[in-house]
Structure 1
Amino acid sequence: MLLCMGWTQQGFQMQSGSPAPLDWPLLEWHTVFDSRDAEETRAFYKTMAFRFDLAVRDAVQLDACVSGIYLPGIYIGRAQYGAPVALGPSRVRNDYWVHLPIKGTWEAAVGHDTFVCNSRLAIVSSPTREVMLHCNGGAARLSLSVTSEALKRQLTVLLGQPPLKPLEFVPTMNLANGYGGRFANMLTSAVIEFGRGCAVRWSPTTLMDFSEFVLTSLLLYHPHNYSDALRRSAQMITPRDIRRVVDYLETHLDSPLTVADLVAASQVAGRTLFQHFRDFTGKSPMHYLRNLRFAKVRDALLHAEPEESVTVIAMACGFTHMSRFALEYRHRFGERPS
């Protein structure tokens, strides 16, 4: 399993199983739009290049609430309407969406196919196919939007060359088990962090790491028209290739690192790099990097002068979230950092 969420001692982690039911208002402190007026709601979605349909007889039930957060290359949001509505992106939008039901059921028309979405099935939409969501009055959903540019850059890194055709995902994601359940847990864990205000303290580096993790996991684990090409791109690499990556990690402990950085250092395609790095070391590159950072900060603290600051030493070793650093340090070494 690659990188990782749910925050754990290893960083972002994919947790197994279906996502836990979420019955409280998520992201309530990150409201994007809130209205009971049908025309106001329709106008809002028009500015966002979405079609929004609501029957006149249902307008009195409308209670639209959209909350969300914007991260590098992605958006995570929650939406509910209180009334039966239909909405979908216009052709001018070129982003990708993952829609996870968190309350009630709804239907998704993707091209010529229709799917009933519930706690066991999510929709993954691509701009190459027309999509329309039909939500009942009691439904709520958690959605992830990813820009085409961000996905194309990450796919290029993983393939080792630019894709020639538009990326198109399989339109359904099974939430009951496997990758879908882990992905849903990861996303809901992130939303809970933001809802509680915890993620406000995430550094720009951590936000970029999380966004890259989302992009990479989607491309490696959810089927799409380049999945076979990613599997075929696997090649034999040598311990010398892995050594180059390890050397690069050891000399950049205080820097924000991306998959593209490691690919450039190793001169090996991203998917192959992650697969063989784990074979050689037993860990993903980012897990290995975290262990290196803790080894360095442990040594620095043991040899620090009394007047030296724990925070300054930790930040020099690449740690930016001090409360999480302190918790994990104590978990690893049985004492507080001092």
Structure 2
Amino acid sequence: MDAVNLRSPLARHALVDTFSPEEARQEIGRIFCPHFLSPRHASAAGFHAVHRASRQRGYSLNFVGYGSEVEIDPGELSSFFLLQIPLAGSAEVHCGTTTALANPGQTASLLSPTLPTRMRWSDGCAKLIVLIEREVMQRQCTELADRAIDKVEFETAVDLSSLAGRLALDHVGLMLESIENGNAAFGTYLARLGESLSSLLLSSLAHSHRAVLDAPAPVATSSTVGRAQDWIRANIERDFSVGDIALAVDVSLRTLQETVRRHNRTTLLQMVETLRLDHFHSLLTGPQNGQSVTDLAGQAGLGHLGRAAAAYRRRYGETPSQTLRRSR
């Protein structure tokens, strides 16, 4: 997350800024869910609640701090998961029967909606929090498991020094950077970032259905990959998920992922990105009607222009701007 300003993340997305614990409880309760909020000191000295948020389809990215030490008891979250990444201070997080001691760069916490939660945030504790709607996470788990899923419950502690923790941290950093630097044209890209985060959490962290997801997936024929690529090309400019691709070629999502990995030596997401880059290239070399590189990248579904330009250069040996200049 070094590329973005973590001293004041989401500064343009302020929702709550108050020195009143009661006002904070009411206003933040409207954003998340009703909860008990109690400063540890009766005088509430140093209390300063700040909540900023950017809402996307299926998730929201939030910055929350309370200034002073507080106890928070939301009970069961019911309708959403919360991935809480501490930026400053520390927190003791109880979820179900487990406890996580969250510290910056060391441990985050992941709260499941069906488990009772209570927390104690230290003086100066501030967190970057991703809210993922329960329906989104359960739909992703159902697609991956290829069976009906009633509920998903994660282990509370997320080790940020592990590979899974670092991947999650990098992904949230990309989400934050894209929101800070993005524009309205990239709304579907931001929604896909939320979807891919839930998929990453399901495939890399411990949870109640991890054994099912770790079981070997059937592998389809190489023609399935070809049909998937044809469908992606035909729908490249509309909003779709990896689950939509699997549905279109009539296999489970895990089967499609494993088939792509076996036959193409790449991941499904990387294959989609490559096809988007190819479409981007065709837009750059075709009639642009005065559109900019940024406009064409958005049309191809490549929301993060810097990363798209780097990937484009690796694939085509020049920058998108160079291609556009040559074609005009």
Shorter-normalised TM range? 0.7 to 0.9
**Paired AA for residue 141 in structure 1:** K
User: Per the alignment, in what secondary structure is the counterpart of residue 34 of structure 1?
Assistant: strand
Q: State how far apart, in whole Å, the 2-side matches of 1:269 and 1:117 are.
A: 36
1:257 CA displacement: 2.3
Count of residues in correspondence between the two structures: 316
Q: What pairs with 1:269-284 in structure 2 (closer than 5 Å)?
A: 269-284=252-267
Q: Residues 16-53 of structure 1, C-alpha deviation per residue, up to 9 Å, x if partnerless?
A: xxx89975111121112110012222332444312211
Q: What pairs with 1:206-217 in structure 2 (closer than 5 Å)?
A: 206-217=189-200
> Identity over the aligned pairs, expressed in percent?
20
Q: State how far apart, in whole Å, the 2-side matches of 1:322 and 1:115 are.
A: 33
2:14 to 21, 31, 46: 31
2:167 to 169, 182, 198: 182
Q: Could you say if the C-alpha distance between residues 233 and 166 of structure 1 is closer, same or farther in structure 2, counting changes exceeding 3 Å?
A: farther
Moved more, 27-36 or 266-275: 266-275
Instruction: Say if 2:86 and 2:127, in contact at 8 Å, map to a contact too.
Output: yes
Instruction: Say if 2:69 and 2:123, in contact at 8 Å, map to a contact too.
Output: yes
Q: Could you say if the C-alpha distance between residues 166 and 250 of structure 1 is closer, same or farther in structure 2, counting changes exceeding 3 Å?
A: same
Q: Residues 148-191 of structure 1, C-alpha deviation per residue, up to 9 Å, x if partnerless?
A: 1111111121122221x321111111101211112112212322
Q: State how far apart, in whole Å, the 1-side matches of 2:289 and 2:5 are.
A: 44
**Paired AA for residue 193 in structure 2:** F
1:44 to 2, 27, 43: 27
Q: Could you say if the C-alpha distance between residues 169 and 323 of structure 1 is closer, same or farther in structure 2, counting changes exceeding 3 Å?
A: closer
**2:300 aligned with 1:318:** yes
**2:112 aligned with 1:130:** no
1:206 CA displacement: 0.8
Q: Residues 279-300 of structure 1, C-alpha deviation per residue, up to 9 Å, x if partnerless?
A: 2112223322332333344356
User: Per the alignment, in what secondary structure is the counterpart of residue 67 of structure 2?
Assistant: coil
Moved more, 206-215 or 44-53: 44-53
Q: State how far apart, in whole Å, the 2-side matches of 1:93 and 1:154 are.
A: 17
Q: Alpha carbon RMSD of aligned pairs, Å?
A: 2.9
Q: Could you say if the C-alpha distance between residues 249 and 227 of structure 1 is closer, same or farther in structure 2, counting changes exceeding 3 Å?
A: same
Instruction: Say if 1:233 and 1:272, in contact at 8 Å, map to a contact too.
Output: no
1:310 CA displacement: 4.8
**Paired AA for residue 264 in structure 1:** L
Q: State how far apart, in whole Å, the 1-side matches of 2:276 and 2:91 are.
A: 46
**2:134 aligned with 1:151:** no
Q: State how far apart, in whole Å, the 1-side matches of 2:265 and 2:245 are.
A: 17
Q: State how far apart, in whole Å, the 2-side matches of 1:314 and 1:189 are.
A: 20
Q: State how far apart, in whole Å, the 1-side matches of 2:165 and 2:8 are.
A: 23
What is the TM-score of this pair, normalised by structure 1? 0.83
1:96 CA displacement: 1.1
- Report the counterpart of residue 324 of structure 2 in structure 1: 337
User: Per the alignment, in what secondary structure is the counterpart of residue 176 of structure 1?
Assistant: coil
- Report the counterpart of residue 170 of structure 1 in structure 2: 155
Instruction: Say if 2:40 and 2:71, in contact at 8 Å, map to a contact too.
Output: no
**2:49 aligned with 1:72:** no
* Unpaired segments ≥5 residues, structure 1: 1-5, 7-18
Instruction: Say if 1:64 and 1:81, in contact at 8 Å, map to a contact too.
Output: yes
2:210 to 211, 221, 227: 227
- Report the counterpart of residue 70 of structure 2 in structure 1: 85
Q: State how far apart, in whole Å, the 2-side matches of 1:137 and 1:218 are.
A: 29
Q: Could you say if the C-alpha distance between residues 301 and 30 of structure 1 is closer, same or farther in structure 2, counting changes exceeding 3 Å?
A: closer
- Report the counterpart of residue 63 of structure 1 in structure 2: 48
Q: State how far apart, in whole Å, the 1-side matches of 2:160 and 2:258 are.
A: 25
For CA contacts below 8 A with separation 6 or more, give which structure has more relative contact order. 1
* Unpaired segments ≥5 residues, structure 2: none
- Report the counterpart of residue 118 of structure 1 in structure 2: 103
Deviation beyond 6 Å, 4+ runs, structure 1: 19-22
**Paired AA for residue 317 in structure 2:** F
Q: State how far apart, in whole Å, the 1-side matches of 2:143 and 2:212 are.
A: 13
Q: State how far apart, in whole Å, the 1-side matches of 2:274 and 2:99 are.
A: 46
Q: State how far apart, in whole Å, the 2-side matches of 1:56 and 1:102 are.
A: 23
Q: State how far apart, in whole Å, the 1-side matches of 2:156 and 2:15 are.
A: 27
